C-alpha cells in the first residue's frame, strides 16, 4: 500500500497526499557545516508525493551516499494562497517529524554544474515522515525542539527558534509563489549535524513532548 497521512493514534487523516515543499539552509549552522552561503530569502525546492513513506518503514540504502536531515513537518489542512503570517496559521493541521533524505554526492555534482538537484532530493522513499499530532494554539511555533538520535547518540538537536525564517513567515512566503493545498507537507529546514546513513543504524526522530518515530537502515 502507498503512503497515507496518519494521526499519532494510528487513525487515517482524511486528506489527500500532496506535494512536499522544503526549505534549504533555514538554520545558519547547517548552512555553514556544508560550506553553503546563508540565503537572504528562503531557498525552496519540492519533493513529489511519491517520495513519501511512513517513518517506521526501514530506509533502503542505494549505491549513492544517502544523508539524513531531520526536520519539523507541517501538514497543511486549508488552502493557503498569498496569505499573511497571521493568516498562515489557519492552514496548519498537524505537526510531525520527517527525514529529508539526500543523495549528497549527486547533489554536489549537480550544484557544481548549475543544474537543478531535485533528483537528489525527490527519489522514491526520500521523505520518511512520522504520524502527525493536531496543531493547537498552545503549541509555540517559535519554540519547537527537533532531535535525531542514531544508535543512542544524539546527532541533531535544534529548535525552531534557530530558524532564519520562522514557521509562519515561511508559510506566508511560500504562499506568495504557489498555493499550498490540503494534504501538502512543508519541511522547515534542518539543524546542524547532518551525516551519512549506514546499514544497521537505528534512528529515533522526534519533536520532544509532541511526536516521536523510530526507523532503521537496511
pLDDT tens for residues 52-66?
Answer: 999 999 999 987 889
Listed in sequence order, the residues at least 6 apart from 206 whose beta carbon sits closer than 8 Å to its beta carbon are 97, 146, 147, 148, 149, 212, 213
- Whether residue 32 is predicted with pLDDT greater than 80 in this model: the reply is no
To the nearest 5 percent, what fractions of the chain are helix, strand and coil? 20, 35, 45
The confidence band for 169, taking pLDDT boundaries of 50, 70 and 90, is: very high
Predicted local distance difference test score (pLDDT) of residue 29: 79
Q: Hey, what domains does the chain have and what are their CATH numbers?
A: 20-216 (3.90.850.10)
- Whether residue 102 is predicted with pLDDT greater than 80 in this model: the reply is yes
- Whether residue 38 is predicted with pLDDT greater than 90 in this model: the reply is no
Edge-to-edge order in the sheet of strand 211-216: 153-159, 145-150, 202-207, 211-216
- Whether residue 7 is predicted with pLDDT greater than 80 in this model: the reply is yes
The whole-chain average pLDDT of the chain stands at: 94
Predicted local distance difference test score (pLDDT) of residue 1: 56
The confidence band for 30, taking pLDDT boundaries of 50, 70 and 90, is: confident
**pTM for the full predicted model:** 0.95
- Whether residue 35 is predicted with pLDDT greater than 80 in this model: the reply is no
| pLDDT, mean of residues 126-152 | 97
Predicted local distance difference test score (pLDDT) of residue 112: 87
The confidence band for 120, taking pLDDT boundaries of 50, 70 and 90, is: very high
Per this entry, what is the length of the chain? 218
- CB count, 10 Å around CB of 203? 22
What Cα–Cα distance (Å) separates residue 175 from each residue in 21, 39, 49?
Answer: 11, 19, 19
- Whether residue 183 is predicted with pLDDT greater than 70 in this model: the reply is yes
The percent of residues above 90 in pLDDT, for the chain, comes to 85
Predicted local distance difference test score (pLDDT) of residue 31: 63
Amino acid at each position: 500500500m502507498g503512503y497515507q497521512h496518519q494521526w499519532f493514534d494510528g487513525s487515517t487523516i482524511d486528506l489527500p497526499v500532496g506535494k512536499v515543499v522544503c526549505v534549504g539552509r533555514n538554520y545558519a549552522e547547517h548552512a555553514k557545516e556544508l560550506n553553503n552561503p546563508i540565503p537572504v530569502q528562503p531557498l525552496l525546492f519540492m519533493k513529489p508525493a511519491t517520495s513519501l513513506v511512513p517513518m517506521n518503514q526501514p530506509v533502503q540504502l542505494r549505491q549513492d551516499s544517502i544523508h539524513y536531515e531531520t526536520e519539523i513537518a507541517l501538514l497543511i489542512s486549508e488552502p493557503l494562497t498569498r496569505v499573511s503570517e497571521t493568516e498562515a496559521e489557519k492552514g496548519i493541521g498537524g505537526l510531525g517529524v520527517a527525514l529529508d533524505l539526500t543523495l549528497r554526492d549527486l547533489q554536489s555534482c549537480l550544484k557544481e554544474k548549475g543544474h537543478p538537484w531535485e533528483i537528489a532530493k525527490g527519489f522514491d522513499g526520500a521523505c520518511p515522515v512520522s504520524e502527525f499530532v493536531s496543531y493547537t494554539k498552545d503549541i509555540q511555533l517559535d519554540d519547537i525542539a527537533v532531535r535525531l538520535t542514531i544508535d543512542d547518540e544524539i546527532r541533531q538537536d535544534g529548535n525552531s527558534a534557530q530558524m532564519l525564517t520562522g514557521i509562519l513567515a515561511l508559510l506566508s512566503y511560500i504562499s506568495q509563489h504557489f498555493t499550498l493545498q490540503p494534504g501538502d507537507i512543508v519541511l522547515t529546514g534542518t539543524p546542524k549535524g547532518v551525516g551519512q546513513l549506514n546499514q544497521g543504524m537505528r534512528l529515533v526522530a522526534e519533536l520532544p513532548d509532541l511526536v516521536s518515530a523510530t526507523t532503521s537502515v537496511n
